[in-house]
């Protein structure tokens, strides 16, 4: 019996979407299990990671901008 092949939204791996698969339909079993087991502790970490990531992006953007300005003037 063949199951539909889905692409995991988290890691990008293709997986068989089985009817009894726990977790999200767009996540492979590995990522579903990872999310289910560490959801409580990971949620705070994710928020922190996202915050520091946006800070890094902002710093990078600002550095790029000052570089561009320096080129213009
Ligand atoms: Zn995955």
CA of 66 to the centre of ligand 1 (A): 38
Quick: pLDDT tens for 3-38: 899 999 999 999 999 888 888 889 998 888 765 555
| 4 Cβ contact list (under 8 Å, min separation 6) | 16, 17
CA of 55 to the centre of ligand 1 (A): 26
pTM of the model: 0.43
Residue 37, pLDDT score: 57
Task: Judge whether residue 72 has pLDDT over 70.
Answer: no
CA of 44 to the centre of ligand 1 (A): 20
Query: Residue 28, exposed/middle/buried by CB under 10 A (0-12, 13-18, 19+)?
Result: buried
């Amino acid at each position: 019996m063949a199951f539909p092949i889905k692409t995991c939204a988290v890691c990008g791996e293709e997986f068989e979407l089985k009817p009894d698969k726990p977790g999200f339909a767009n996540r492979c079993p590995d990522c579903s299990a990872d999310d289910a087991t560490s959801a409580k502790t990971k949620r705070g970490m994710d928020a922190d990671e996202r915050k520091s990531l946006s800070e890094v992006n902002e710093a990078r953007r600002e550095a790029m901008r000052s570089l561009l300005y320096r080129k213009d003037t």
